Amino acid sequence: MAKQGYHHGNLREALIVACLRLVEEKGPTGFTLSEAARVAGVTPAAVYRHFEGREDLIAAAAHQGYEIFADMMEEAYAKGLPSALKAFEGTGRAYLAFARRFPGHYVAMFESGISIQRTSELNKVASRGLGVLEKAAAELSKHIPPEKRPPPQMFAAHIWAMSHGVVELFARGSPGTKSPFPPEDLLESGIGVYLRGLGLIPPDS
């Protein structure tokens, strides 16, 4: 088995898949590179052909996650057009959908302690998803008088924080935080309250 593992056709991808599985099962600090090698069916020594250590492996999983995340955000934004409001709301829902569909990637990205400044490549791909949200915020807030308009980065950060909070508290099975409302409804109503406060949607909508 070890010999077959050493000649694995796509060793790097197999190790990332193993990492995602272990991150979901044990958390980002609950496994070793040797365990990842075992799950991938390769020798421990073979791991170091691609990764310097566990954090390097998790960073690769996070990079992959940010790529998927940005693609989902861009698709959600495009589907909402030409309505700036629908495009903006779609990006919030895409965040929740990503966390549910890709839990291993989500943990690697947001709960592993891996900084997006670790490499320029990771920073670039991580910024792409937030960039979609900032673009949606900028388009939606064009109708606010300039003197009352929040910077798109702040606008986007508020919605990002709200989305992240709903995911962490109610969408990932956190103990003691069960909500009587579906996470999607919580997020949608929260965004609605925020947008009403900015005067971007009427009070009775």
Q: Which CATH class is domain 1-51?
A: mainly alpha
For the chain, report the end-to-end CA distance as a whole number of angstroms: 62
Architecture of domain 59-197: Orthogonal Bundle (1.10)
User: Which residue from 95, 101, 107 is spatially nearest to 22, judged by alpha carbons?
Assistant: 107
pLDDT confidence tier of residue 192, bands split at 50, 70 and 90: confident
Write the DSSP assignment of 97-130 as a string of letters.
Answer: HHHHH-HHHHHHHHTS---TTSSHHHHHHHHHHH
Q: Cis ω on the peptide bond leading into residue 202 (within 30° of 0)?
A: no
Per residue in 86-103, pLDDT (tens digit) is 888 888 889 889 988 999
pLDDT confidence tier of residue 171, bands split at 50, 70 and 90: low
* Chain-centroid distance, C-alpha 149: 27
- In this prediction, residues 30-45 reach a mean pLDDT of 89
Per residue in 111-169, pLDDT (tens digit) is 888 888 899 999 999 999 889 988 888 888 887 888 878 888 888 888 888 888 888 87
pLDDT confidence tier of residue 174, bands split at 50, 70 and 90: low
pTM here is 0.83
Q: Where are the domains of the chain?
A: 1-51, 59-197
d(CA 187, CA 172): 14
Q: What mean pLDDT is reported for the chain?
A: 84
